[in-house]
């Protein structure tokens, strides 16, 4: 007896077989119906679908056989999968490969065998569609029905592959949705933390109002103010390039450097020193190519003077009195982190009692209407002036007016604005 050989591509073939997940599964009518048809067409007592494993052949469907499997070494099907054409043996006792096979010498005493290999979804041979008889068959063998029925089995294998792929896709989708939900929760927690860094509104001799609306879960805008001394109020708003986690992390670091006064050796009432120190502390080559714009000012309440400087940031807007003209506090200097050892200069302006100061990010004016009209700083000034009559809630009203202008509640860039009534 010649044992069934291993194929040159045996490992790939076994992987294909295992991917079908058919071994040791219960009977299924879609396979049983095919072997019933095979038995009826060829008028044989035995028909089966054999899956050829490493050391065994296992019968996914069978009729006329009591056993579920045999060793691969004695299988006829182990020979059949080694060739593309049907393996037809009219009389097993006359074939040296099978004459002393236990299936021939002992029950069920097979004499005739015909089988055609079955390929999996990627073309690897995984088993055979077979028939057998206990008497030899000398008549010419018509293999056309066998080929057609084998094709039906392979179609079932293809369906299994599609179902398996769909199942895996659904599993991956469920995992992605779970990961997305977890990420969304973490982003919401991070966004809540960002908002917790915003300052509490001032309500005494100086009053403030502010809003931050990120264009994504996490943005690059942050702002704050704090008393350096009883008569000196620091005011700052920064905007990191880009959006998302990276921009947010850098903005938090930069904000903490200002609000905690964590720049060694720097007097935070000295605007020029603060801007220079921030530029040295946050070079863009050390922060994944990200830079930031910064408006930093110190209001001296005793002498009613505002000292300020802007590093790549849009000008703050000052109304010395409600209904009066707007003064743009221009300070055109390079953004923070873009170049080393850049000198920064501070500007000064006298501030009348009751003046209103607006510090904002570019997301407050770089807006387009649905018709394609651009707002610009001039349009922002007009929007602020239209809401100047309000006794309170001016910043929310300004933000709503900007959303109306652009025809959407969602900003293209982060919207940040501080109003200070000085």
Q: Which helix (H) or strand (E) holds 49?
A: strand 46-52
Q: Which helix (H) or strand (E) holds 112?
A: strand 112-119
- What is the tens place of the pLDDT at every residue in 360-371? 999 999 999 999
Do the Cβ atoms of 95 and 114 come closer than 8 Å?
A: no
- CATH class (in words) of the domain with range 197-421: alpha beta
**CA 393 – CA 205 distance, rounded (Å):** 18
Q: Which two tokens stand for residue 321?
A: 């009195």
Sheet holding 292-300, edge to edge: 221-229, 232-240, 292-300, 305-311, 347-350
Of 322, 324, 326, the closest CA to residue 388 belongs to: 322
Question: Where are the chain's structural domains?
Answer: 10-166, 197-421
- What is the tens place of the pLDDT at every residue in 63-79? 999 999 999 999 999 99
Do the Cβ atoms of 294 and 238 come closer than 8 Å?
A: yes
Task: Give the number of other CB atoms < 10 A from CB of residue 21.
Answer: 12
- The residues, ordered by sequence, that sit 6+ positions from 3 with a Cβ below 8 Å of its Cβ are 73, 74, 78
SS3 content of the chain, % helix, strand, coil (to 5): 35, 25, 40
Q: Which two tokens stand for residue 286?
A: 């050390």
User: How confident is the model at residue 127, as a pLDDT?
Assistant: 96
Do the Cβ atoms of 414 and 219 come closer than 8 Å?
A: yes
User: How confident is the model at residue 217, as a pLDDT?
Assistant: 66
Peptide bond into 404 cis (omega under 30): no
Of 232, 304, 239, the closest CA to residue 271 belongs to: 232
Q: Going by DSSP bridges, is the β-strand pair 305-311/415-421 parallel, antiparallel, or unpaired?
A: unpaired
In sequence order, the β-bridge partners of residue 409 are none
User: How confident is the model at residue 5, as a pLDDT?
Assistant: 79
CATH of 10-166, one of 3.40.50.300, 3.40.50.261, 3.20.20.140, 3.30.450.40: 3.30.450.40
User: How confident is the model at residue 215, as a pLDDT?
Assistant: 83
User: What values do phi and psi take at 379, rounded to 5?
Assistant: -65, -35
Sheet holding 46-52, edge to edge: 69-71, 56-63, 46-52, 125-133, 112-119, 87-89
User: How confident is the model at residue 24, as a pLDDT?
Assistant: 96
Specify the 3-state DSSP secondary structure of 291. Answer: coil
Q: Which residues of the chain have pLDDT under 50?
A: none
Owner of token pair 């501070």 = 346
**CA 106 – CA 92 distance, rounded (Å):** 13
Peptide bond into 419 cis (omega under 30): no
User: How confident is the model at residue 1, as a pLDDT?
Assistant: 66
User: How confident is the model at residue 172, as a pLDDT?
Assistant: 86
- What is the tens place of the pLDDT at every residue in 25-34? 999 999 999 9
- What is the tens place of the pLDDT at every residue in 87-102? 999 999 999 999 999 9
Do the Cβ atoms of 420 and 208 come closer than 8 Å?
A: yes
């Amino acid at each position: 007896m010649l044992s069934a050989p291993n194929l040159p591509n045996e490992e790939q073939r076994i992987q294909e077989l295992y991917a079908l997940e058919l071994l040791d599964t219960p009977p299924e009518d879609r396979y049983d119906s095919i072997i019933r048809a095979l038995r009826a067409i060829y008028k044989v007592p035995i028909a089966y679908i054999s899956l050829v494993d490493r050391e065994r052949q296992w019968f996914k469907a069978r009729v006329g056989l009591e056993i579920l499997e045999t060793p691969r070494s004695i299988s006829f099907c182990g020979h059949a999968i080694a060739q593309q054409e049907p393996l037809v043996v009219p009389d097993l006792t006359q074939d040296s490969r099978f004459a002393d096979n236990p299936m021939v010498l002992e029950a069920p005493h097979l004499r005739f065998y015909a089988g055609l290999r079955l390929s999996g979804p990627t073309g690897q041979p995984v088993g055979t569609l077979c028939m057998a008889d206990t008497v030899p068959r000398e008549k010419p063998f018509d293999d056309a029905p066998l080929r057609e029925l084998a094709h039906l089995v392979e179609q079932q294998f293809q369906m299994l592959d599609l179902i398996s792929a769909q199942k895996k896709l659904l599993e991956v989708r469920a995992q992605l949705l779970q990961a997305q939900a977890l990420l969304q929760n973490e982003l919401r927690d991070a966004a809540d933390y960002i908002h917790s860094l915003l300052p509490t509104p001032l309500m005494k001799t100086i009053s403030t109002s502010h809003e931050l609306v990120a264009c994504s879960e996490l943005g690059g805008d942050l702002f704050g103010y704090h008393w350096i001394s009883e008569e000196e109020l620091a005011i700052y708003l920064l905007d990191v390039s880009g959006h998302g986690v990276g921009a947010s992390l850098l903005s938090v670091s930069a904000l903490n450097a200002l609000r905690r006064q964590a720049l060694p050796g720097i007097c935070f009432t000295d605007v020029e020193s603060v801007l220079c120190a921030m530029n040295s502390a946050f070079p863009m080559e050390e922060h994944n190519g990200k830079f930031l714009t910064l408006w930093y000012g110190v209001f001296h309440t005793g002498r009613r003077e505002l000292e300020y400087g802007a590093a790549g940031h849009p000008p703050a807007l000052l109304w010395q009195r409600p209904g009066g003209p707007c003064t743009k506090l221009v300070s055109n200097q390079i953004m923070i982190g873009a170049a080393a050892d850049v000198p920064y200069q501070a500007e000064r302006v006298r501030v009348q009692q009751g003046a209103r100061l607006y510090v904002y990010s570019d997301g407050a004016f770089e807006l387009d209407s649905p018709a394609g009209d651009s707002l610009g700083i001039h349009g922002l000034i007009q929007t602020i002036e239209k809401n100047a009559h309000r006794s309170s809630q001016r910043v929310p009203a300004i933000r709503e007016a900007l959303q109306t202008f652009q025809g959407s509640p969602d900003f293209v860039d982060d919207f940040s604005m501080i109003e200070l009534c000085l």
